[in-house]
């Protein structure tokens, strides 16, 4: 226990009951964090209701905490709603020995599934064909592809875990997805998660269309270059595979830029410190919630020349080759980092390329009227609802 020189990181004034609520815009927390970091520096303290939260802003602070002091920052922040539902179990919210065992088990199992009779890549490819046929059956009528994509992504997990996929019309499958959607709606409110305040329901309603979709960003920009890359590397007759990615730097850069720009979990999933922790010149008391702000890294202008603009050039060098970046952290970093990264990245590449191999995307409104900025919903950034035409190539 560290008791001398207790010094918390600086931050706005704390009021009784509401904490720092007056300085925080619930609708756009990531933007609020940016403003607060300008005033208080890269490590600052805020209060969500009565809960103390330390925010880490920028790559240096996040790396120092999650990598250099990884053990101390490896706990999951107490999330009242998760606690209520899962009662401390489950990989995402558990801590200590239970979390270590679950994480080891999940990583090994995912790896083993990937090496089973059918690889994870094959399962994604199989689902991708069903997805293309389903899109084709819309006969060029404009539609919102979110639910098709959610069904395809969910089916890949079903195929990996249960060994089989569901028919898209299967009632059990659709009920399961509805329940997951409802669950998502409740979980995305940072406020309901950190303070237990009753904001979750109303925020959940207003931003409930959870999705994994990136198509809206794509149609805003010309997909011509991706079509060219697909035609020269893959052609029209065989299915895309992961080995193609190495020869498709532009497409790879687009997939990275979509993830950077979208910044799906801008404030990460809350962490906590496992014990009283000395961090830089501060002392952070045990169980303090930690927000390792991912958006502050994905939008760092030192790395990405114009971070608020969508530009695949952020991931290309002067020769047009793919350029890796240490600032690409949508899956976080360190001991709690996402275990689904490999699967998610495979799905993004394979679904995107098969869709563009088979279709040209056309918006229903004028290009200039498309709003690609994500709908900020506290903990999760969502694409806005949209409709488009899928014209067979």
User: Binding site for heme: which residues?
Assistant: 338
From the CB of residue 158, how many other CB atoms can be counted at a distance below 10 Å? 16
**The binder of ligand HEM chosen from 8, 265, 283, 361 (CB under 6 A):** 265
**The binder of ligand HEM chosen from 179, 337, 364, 365 (CB under 6 A):** 337
* 3-class secondary-structure state, position 16: coil
Report which secondary-structure segment, H or E, holds 384.
none
Closest CB to ligand HEM among residues 339, 361: 339
Closest CB to ligand HEM among residues 158, 338: 338
Closest CB to ligand HEM among residues 21, 207: 207
Task: Select the residue whose beta carbon is closest to ligand HEM and give its number.
Answer: 340
Tell me the Cα Rg of the chain. Answer: 22
Residue 331 touches ligand HEM, criterion: CB under 6 A: yes
How many residues lie near ligand HEM (CB under 6 A)? 19
Q: What is the DSSP string of 114-155?
A: HTSSS-HHHHHHHHHHHHHHHHHTTTT--B-THHHHHHHHHH
**The binder of ligand HEM chosen from 29, 91, 253, 380 (CB under 6 A):** 91
Residue 336 touches ligand HEM, criterion: CB under 6 A: yes
Backbone angles phi, psi at 299, to 5 degrees: -110, 25
To the nearest whole angstrom, how small is the minimum distance from the Cβ of residue 100 to ligand HEM?
A: 9
Pairing of strands 271-272, 289-293: antiparallel
Asked if 47 and 53 count as a contact pair (C-beta separation under 8 A), the reply is yes
Q: For residue 354, give both structure tokens.
A: 């098969």
To the nearest whole angstrom, how small is the minimum distance from the Cβ of residue 152 to ligand HEM?
A: 12
Residue 338 touches ligand HEM, criterion: CB under 6 A: yes
Candidate segments 21-29, 227-235, 248-256, 266-274, binder of ligand HEM by CB under 6 A: 266-274
Contacts of residue 163, Cβ cutoff 8 Å, sequence gap at least 6: none
Asked if 255 and 263 count as a contact pair (C-beta separation under 8 A), the reply is no
Residue 330 touches ligand HEM, criterion: CB under 6 A: yes
Residue 354 touches ligand HEM, criterion: CB under 6 A: no
Q: How far apart (Å, rounded) are the C-alpha atoms in residues 95 and 302?
A: 35
**The binder of ligand HEM chosen from 277, 332, 358, 381 (CB under 6 A):** 332
Residue 220 touches ligand HEM, criterion: CB under 6 A: no
* 3-class secondary-structure state, position 15: strand
Closest CB to ligand HEM among residues 227, 375: 375
Residue 177 touches ligand HEM, criterion: CB under 6 A: no
Q: Alpha carbon of 291 to those of 42, 137, 194, 224, 279: distances in Å?
A: 12, 44, 11, 39, 14
Residue 269 touches ligand HEM, criterion: CB under 6 A: yes
Pairing of strands 51-57, 289-293: parallel
Residue 344 touches ligand HEM, criterion: CB under 6 A: yes
Centroid of chain to Cα 238: 30
Give residues in contact with ligand HEM (CB under 6 A): 76, 91-92, 103, 264-265, 268-269, 271, 330-332, 336-340, 343-344
């Amino acid at each position: 226990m560290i008791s001398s020189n207790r010094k918390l990181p600086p931050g706005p004034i704390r009021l009784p009951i509401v904490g720092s609520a007056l300085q925080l815009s619930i609708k756009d927390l990531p933007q609020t964090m940016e403003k607060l970091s300008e005033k208080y520096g890269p490590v600052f303290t805020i209060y969500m209701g009565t809960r103390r939260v330390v925010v880490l802003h920028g790559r240096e602070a996040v790396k120092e905490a999650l990598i250099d002091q990884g053990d101390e920052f490896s706990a999951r922040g107490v999330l009242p709603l998760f606690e209520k539902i899962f009662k401390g179990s489950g990989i995402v919210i558990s801590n200590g020995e239970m979390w270590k065992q679950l994480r080891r088990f999940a990583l090994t199992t995912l790896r083993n599934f990937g090496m089973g009779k059918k690889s994870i890549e094959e399962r994604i490819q199989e689902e991708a064909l069903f997805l293309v046929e389903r899109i084709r059956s819309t006969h060029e009528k404009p539609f919102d592809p979110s639910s098709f994509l959610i069904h395809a992504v969910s089916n890949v997990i079903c195929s990996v875990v249960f060994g089989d996929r569901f028919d898209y019309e299967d009632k059990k499958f659709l009920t399961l997805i509805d329940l997951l959607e409802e669950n998502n709606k409740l979980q995305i409110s940072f406020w309901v998660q950190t303070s237990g305040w009753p904001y979750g329901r109303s925020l959940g309603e207003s931003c409930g269309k959870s999705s994994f979709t990136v198509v809206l960003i794509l149609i805003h920009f010309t997909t011509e270059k991706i079509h060219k890359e697909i035609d020269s590397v893959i052609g029209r007759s065989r299915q895309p595979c992961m080995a193609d990615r190495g020869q498709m730097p532009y497409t790879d850069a687009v997939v990275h830029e979509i993830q950077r720009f979208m910044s799906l979990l801008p404030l990460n999933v809350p962490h906590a410190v496992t014990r009283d922790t000395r961090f830089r010149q501060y002392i952070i008391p045990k169980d303090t919630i930690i927000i390792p702000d991912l958006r502050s890294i994905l939008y760092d202008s030192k790395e990405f020349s114009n971070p608020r603009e969508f530009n695949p050039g952020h991931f290309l060098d002067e020769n047009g080759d793919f350029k890796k970046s240490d600032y690409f952290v949508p899956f976080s970093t360190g001991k709690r980092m996402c275990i689904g990264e490999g699967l998610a990245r495979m799905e993004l590449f394979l679904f995107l390329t098969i869709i563009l191999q088979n279709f040209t995307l056309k918006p229903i409104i004028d290009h200039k009227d498309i709003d690609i900025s994500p709908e900020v919903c506290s903990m999760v950034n969502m694409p806005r609802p949209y409709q488009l035409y899928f014209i067979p190539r």
